[in-house]
Amino acid sequence: MAGMMPGSIGFGVDPDPGVLIDGATGLRTEVPAPIGDQSLFYSAVRDALLGKGPNPVPPSEAIAVMTVLEKSFESAARGQTLALSLAQQDLAL
């Protein structure tokens, strides 16, 4: 968005930290955002489609992410903290 090119100094740097919240204590901890570079992901997708590499996001991991997102939306809609289950049987295809 800033017109920077991959490989430029500062490319992919997000100055806003992430915030981890301990569900048991409510303790908030700021952590630096990792440097992003989506070009690596898209290169891996290309390689997977061409049969030159593995799928960069296995289906079980995609399901886990969707489970977390859906639970977060439900939690926000209800205005309460909801338990999250990511047991292996929940991720079965």
Only one residue has tokens 């296995």, namely 58
Distance, in Å, from the CA atom of 93 to the CA atom of 88, rounded to the nearest integer, reads 10
pLDDT of 93 higher than 60? no
Check if the beta carbon of residue 91 is closer than 8 Å to that of residue 60. yes
What pLDDT does residue 28 have? Answer: 93
pLDDT of 60 higher than 90? no
Distance, in Å, from the CA atom of 26 to the CA atom of 43, rounded to the nearest integer, reads 39
Half-sphere exposure of 37 (CA within 13 A, CB side): 12
- Would you give the DSSP letter of residue 30? E
**Residue boundaries of the structural domains of the chain:** 17-56, 58-93
What tens digit of pLDDT does each residue of 16-54 get?
999 988 888 989 999 998 888 788 899 999 999 999 999
